[in-house]
Amino acid sequence: MTHGLRASTGFGRRVLFACAVLAGLLQPAAAAEKTLRAVVHADLKVIDPTWTTIYITNRYGYLVYDTLFAYDSKFQAKPQMVDTWTVSPDNLTYTFTLRPGLVFHDGQKVTSADCVASLKRWMAKVSAGQVLAKFVGSLDIVDKDTFKLVLKEPFALVIDTLGSPLTAFMMPERIASKPVNEQITESVGSGPFRMVKEEWRPGNKVVFARHTGYVPRKEPADYLSGGKIAKLDRVEWLYIPDANTTLSALMAGEIDYFEAPPLDFIRLLKDNPDLTVLNIDNLGVQGLIRPNSLNPPFNNFKARQALFYLIDQPEFMQAVAGDDSLYMQFCGAYFLCHSANETEIGAVRKPDYAKAAAMLKEGGYAGEKLVVLMPTDRPQYAAATTVLIAALRKAGVAVDIQSADWSTISVRRARKDPVDKGGWNLFITTQGGPDTANPITNGWFNSRCEAANNGWACDPELEALVGKWMREADAGKRHTMIDAIQARAYESVPYVPFGQFFQPIAFRKNVTGVLETAVPVYWNIDKK
């Protein structure tokens, strides 16, 4: 009996095994998991997009979270999580209704309470939200899908601000309502990808998996708006600090996507038949010189104006970008060339060192050493600073170069002290994308004195012009008002733009559907 059972079981096993093998052979092969291995420009260290202005965290935000509105390729804000919205005749009350089917990664439905809490956090912490907050009287839940924003006075850019890349990312209420000075460490959004936190290796790898519950919009993807269709199963962000290693890995096919190749690699990458090099951001990056408005001589607007006559843009751009296909020969627009707010009013096209010297003298410069900060571990900044120093010397300026690593420089430039007590006069930085193209989100344009970025640009008249601009409902009139704003900026000089350049990305030919957006996004991308 026992023997018979054993035999029968053995036979049964063999039959079952044979069936399983046969079934395996007959079944179509399960589709291989599609993983995009991307080397990103920085390590993701902070996963709270309201906590930092670091670009990598904003890019993480676009993967994990969804937004109420988003820009299309014409920089028009289009609804994203919002289904419908209405504006009252007095332009003071905005009522938003969420589209159906929105769910967070933890399976909870997105409600208006989540959106209100997220907006409140954003208005308290993020510069674009802080601008909107000044106009907001109340923000209330109407029902589970509807909420209402009531303004104290008309603000023409409510929808634009909600759609700008410095947008509010929608989080669950329990997370968004944490105190604003407490960093969020959970990663629960409703975007097309979710972060696989257990696979996160800070300093090395961040893994995102497709959010299976995500319902994309019906419209085709356009810039940051439209249907966010996640065609990849996984996106792996790798952080490889050595660019040469990344280049070799891309060429060898170990990685698929190189988000920010150094600009001197671009020609090499273009020559490789296995790779595509694509400039996804038509607005590019603006290089800028920041004078310290607290310390002489740049506490005098004449001295700040003199800086314009030191600028030979092609010379700066050669140092920063090298390849002349990667920069504009000249751009005098504060709000970037190719943007809706581009204007040449006031622009100084050619350097004139004698005139710069005379204006500096008029501005109170008396031959003292000016402190220029040079971050040695940021090659583009260091290169541009070298050109600036040479230009200053041509104008007869004595320069005290303070070279240090970025961390040290970032502390030094926050100091308001006089130069002889650890202060500074000039430093170089960059900014880019649609935020720069707008007077209220262009961080370095902010001239609100103590509330301005380091350098503390201070011009109430310029701020008044920007205030009028943001209250103007007519887009055509707003466009003409930009001329007056830029003309004033060329007088008061919050900063000096020294050129506009582009940062292409590179990826292997089997990667398709890369969208041309200022923020690299991973929906719509497919890998064959």
Partner 1 sequence: MAGFLLRRIAMTIPVMLVVAIVVFLLLHLSPGDPAAIIAGDNATTADVEMIRVSLGLDKPLLTQFALWIGALLQGDFGVSVFNKVSVWTLIVQRMEPTLALAGVTMSFAVSIAIPVGVLAAWKAGTWIDHLAMGIAVLAFSAPVFLIGYGLVYEFARVWRLLPVQGYTPFSQDFTGFWQHLVLPAITLGLVFAALLARMTRSTMLDVLNEDYIRTARAKGLAPRAVLIRHALKNAAVPIVTTIGLGVALLIGGVVVTESVFAIPGIGRLTIEAVTQRDYPVIQGVILIASFVYVLINLAIDVAYAFLDPRIRY
Dihedral of CA atoms 84, 209, 59, 320 in degrees, nearest 10, equals -140
Is 271 one of the binding residues for partner 1 (CB under 8 A)?
Answer: no
**Binding segment toward partner 1, per CB under 8 A, in 12-20, 223-231, 442-450, 510-518:** 442-450
Is 252 one of the binding residues for partner 1 (CB under 8 A)?
Answer: yes
Pick one of 429, 447, 486, 517: the residue that binds partner 1 (CB under 8 A).
429
Pick one of 407, 480, 510, 512: the residue that binds partner 1 (CB under 8 A).
407
| Residue 359, C-beta contacts closer than 8 angstroms, at least 6 positions apart | 302, 303, 305, 306, 309
Is 408 one of the binding residues for partner 1 (CB under 8 A)?
Answer: yes
Is 251 one of the binding residues for partner 1 (CB under 8 A)?
Answer: yes
Is 35 one of the binding residues for partner 1 (CB under 8 A)?
Answer: no
Is 150 one of the binding residues for partner 1 (CB under 8 A)?
Answer: no
Pick one of 244, 329, 480, 512: the residue that binds partner 1 (CB under 8 A).
244
Q: For residue 17, count other CB atoms closer than 10 A to its CB.
A: 10
Of 245 and 512, nearer to partner 1 (C-beta) is 245
Q: Is the dihedral of CA 445, 449, 455, 461 positive or negative?
A: positive
Among residues 33, 72, 466, 401, the alpha carbon closest in space to that of 209 is found at: 33
Pick one of 140, 254, 264, 420: the residue that binds partner 1 (CB under 8 A).
254
Residues 153-172 that bind partner 1 (CB under 8 A): none
**Binding segment toward partner 1, per CB under 8 A, in 38-46, 75-83, 278-286, 493-501:** 38-46
Pick one of 453, 492, 500, 524: the residue that binds partner 1 (CB under 8 A).
453
Of 246 and 500, nearer to partner 1 (C-beta) is 246
- Find the shortest distance in angstroms from Cβ 317 to partner 1: 20
> What are residue 212's DSSP bridge partners?
none
| Residue 379, C-beta contacts closer than 8 angstroms, at least 6 positions apart | 262
| Residue 475, C-beta contacts closer than 8 angstroms, at least 6 positions apart | none
Among residues 465, 468, 466, the alpha carbon closest in space to that of 442 is found at: 466
For residues 351 and 489, is the Cβ–Cβ distance under 8 A?
no
Is 17 one of the binding residues for partner 1 (CB under 8 A)?
Answer: no
Distance CA 418, CA 421 (A): 5
- Find the shortest distance in angstroms from Cβ 75 to partner 1: 19
**Binding segment toward partner 1, per CB under 8 A, in 198-206, 298-306, 476-484, 489-497:** 198-206
Q: Where are the alpha helices (DSSP H) in 201-294?
A: 243-251, 266-270
Using CB under 8 A as the criterion, what x/- string covers residues 323-362 for binding partner 1? Answer: ----------------------------------------
**Binding segment toward partner 1, per CB under 8 A, in 134-142, 263-271, 292-300, 403-411:** 403-411
Pick one of 454, 472, 483, 526: the residue that binds partner 1 (CB under 8 A).
454
Is 227 one of the binding residues for partner 1 (CB under 8 A)?
Answer: no
Is 204 one of the binding residues for partner 1 (CB under 8 A)?
Answer: yes
Q: Residue 250 has which token pair?
A: 């891309």
Among residues 333, 320, 241, 319, the alpha carbon closest in space to that of 283 is found at: 333
Of 201 and 509, nearer to partner 1 (C-beta) is 201
Q: Residue 514 has which token pair?
A: 């890369």
Distance CA 487, CA 419 (A): 30
Residues 44-73 that bind partner 1 (CB under 8 A): 44-47, 51-55, 57
Is 245 one of the binding residues for partner 1 (CB under 8 A)?
Answer: yes
Of 51 and 85, nearer to partner 1 (C-beta) is 51
Distance CA 120, CA 180 (A): 9
Is 201 one of the binding residues for partner 1 (CB under 8 A)?
Answer: yes
Is 241 one of the binding residues for partner 1 (CB under 8 A)?
Answer: yes
Q: For residue 156, count other CB atoms closer than 10 A to its CB.
A: 18
Of 346 and 379, nearer to partner 1 (C-beta) is 379
Tell me if residue 124 falls in helix, strand or coil.
helix
- Find the shortest distance in angstroms from Cβ 422 to partner 1: 10
Is 268 one of the binding residues for partner 1 (CB under 8 A)?
Answer: no
Pick one of 16, 18, 414, 475: the residue that binds partner 1 (CB under 8 A).
414
- Total residues contacting partner 1 by CB under 8 A comes to 53
Burial track 382-418 (b if 16+ CB lie within 10 A, e otherwise): bbbbbbbbebbeebebebeebeeeeeebeebbeeeee
Q: Helices 475-492 and 460-471, interaxial angle, to 10°?
A: 170
Distance CA 268, CA 313 (A): 25
Pick one of 95, 108, 177, 410: the residue that binds partner 1 (CB under 8 A).
410
Distance CA 211, CA 233 (A): 9
Distance CA 493, CA 459 (A): 9
- Find the shortest distance in angstroms from Cβ 181 to partner 1: 5
Is 198 one of the binding residues for partner 1 (CB under 8 A)?
Answer: no
Q: Which residues bind partner 1 (CB under 8 A)?
A: 43-47, 51-55, 57, 127, 181-183, 185, 201-205, 238, 240-242, 244-246, 248-249, 251-252, 254, 377, 404-408, 410-412, 414, 416, 429, 431, 443-444, 450-454
